[in-house]
Amino acid sequence: MVFSSLTFWFFYLPAVLLCYFVVPRKFRNWVLFFVSLAFYGWGEPIYIVLMLVTILINYLAGLLIAKFRENPGMKCLWLVLSVVLNLGFLVFFKYSGMIVDTLNLLPRVNIVFDAPSLPIGISFYTFQAMSYTIDVYREDTPEQKNPMLLSTYVTLFPQLIAGPIVRYRDVADQLTGRRETVEKFSKGVILFLVGLSKKILLANQFAAMWQNLGAENTEGILARWGGLVALTLQIYFDFSGYSDMARGLGKMLGFEFMENFNYPYISKSITDFWRRWHISLSTWFRDYLYIPLGGNRRGMGRQILNLFIVWAATGIWHGAAYNFLLWGLYFFVLLVLEKFFLLKVLKKIPGVFSHIYALFFIMIGWAIFNFENMGELFSYLGGLFSFSEGLFTQEGLSVLLSYLPITLVGMVLSTPILRKFYYKWQDKKFFPFVICVFAVAVMLLCTASLVNDSYNPFIYFRF
């Protein structure tokens, strides 16, 4: 089940909210746990067992780490064992097929192996569960003795399959001490609808535009770049839309989750972009991999090695294909160049040029991210700069012009312009009326869009 579906809006969510607010407060975590299992098991009930095993491993590891707090050797042993088991599940289900295919490239190697299907959201809930155990080891948070509370944290349906990656220490107090209010609920509804409109009304349109202007359908430089603009906008509105919906659902239930996307396309450097893009993932790798490796404290050579490891891991986290590894290393190179000299140059030139620089390399990065076939990738990238097909074709120009209005809207909405108007008008007397009109309009438009068009791609299924 996904948030952007009629089943979720009209059946699942109303039933969840009814059950949640009808039962006494002390039973609400139980409600969240069971409805979250139902949400996750809607498409893949067998993998509920895998998630429960992951919870059990980390629950026991947390207790044992706390028990041996005065014994560094045993404390470390239980942490390492839990991390190995967590990553073992992730590697087997997500990367075993890729590993076997790579081994089969060697002479005289022919391993027959049917790769398992990918459990939805395994990358997200594995990282969340690991953050709990690591934080207990660091004594950043006390161990959770109540298995129900830890289970609720890991399975919490708003962020279960699409993030943001919520760290245990950030919500530990909320699991027992959150307070649901009418104001928070109403803000959650609006935030959910903002995310819903991003996904249905924008991301899906740009996905269709990319389908019409993708590698197999594109001739002419103008159409290829138009397609890449569509892909760039689709990825942003899809990812940020789902994060907004997750945060909105969290608010309805009394939780506060971190903002995951902060207008990344207004960045003027790749460094700034990664401070704004998928913030929960970036900070997870920073706090649980980069800093433990030594960060920038052990000299320039070690810092570069640490960055290499982090960005290789970031790339592979996104998918079991070499293009994701290439994508991660691509940003590693850009970030290293910026760190040692490019940022100084970018600060001296006019902002419009540094913004163009950032967008150019971000868009090339999304091309790498999209094409799992290396041949198709390099063919597409080459076509972006080749005039052999001409500047445009009549068919390509027609498609571009038909999507021009929605493209301009997407460009504007990927900036903070509307947020500025929101803060400026929120105290006006007419503002509640505007919000009500917005809510009704979004629901009607999104419902009509899904009823009339079944094209509703879900990018997070790849993760």
In b/e form, how buried is each residue of 163-193, taking b as 16+ CB within 10 angstroms? bbbbbbbbbbebbeebebeeebbebbbbbbb
Q: Low-confidence residues of the chain, pLDDT below 50?
A: none
Handedness of CA 261, 262, 264, 269 (dihedral sign): negative
Q: What is the pLDDT of residue 462?
A: 55
Residue 336: per-residue pLDDT: 94
Name the active-site residue from 75, 94, 224, 318: 318
What confidence tens digit (pLDDT) does each residue in 56-95 have? 999 999 999 999 998 989 999 999 999 999 999 999 999 9
| Range 410-416, long-range pairs (CB < 8 A, 24+ positions) | 410/202, 410/206, 410/233, 410/237, 411/233, 413/198, 413/202, 413/237, 414/233, 414/236, 414/237, 414/263, 414/265, 414/266, 415/263, 415/265, 415/266, 416/263, 416/266
**217: which DSSP letter?**
G
Q: Report the pLDDT value the prediction gives residue 386, as an integer from 0 to 100.
A: 78
In the chain, the amino acid numbered 108 is R
pTM of the entire predicted model: 0.91
Tell me if residue 278 is catalytic.
no
User: What pLDDT is attached to residue 361?
Assistant: 97
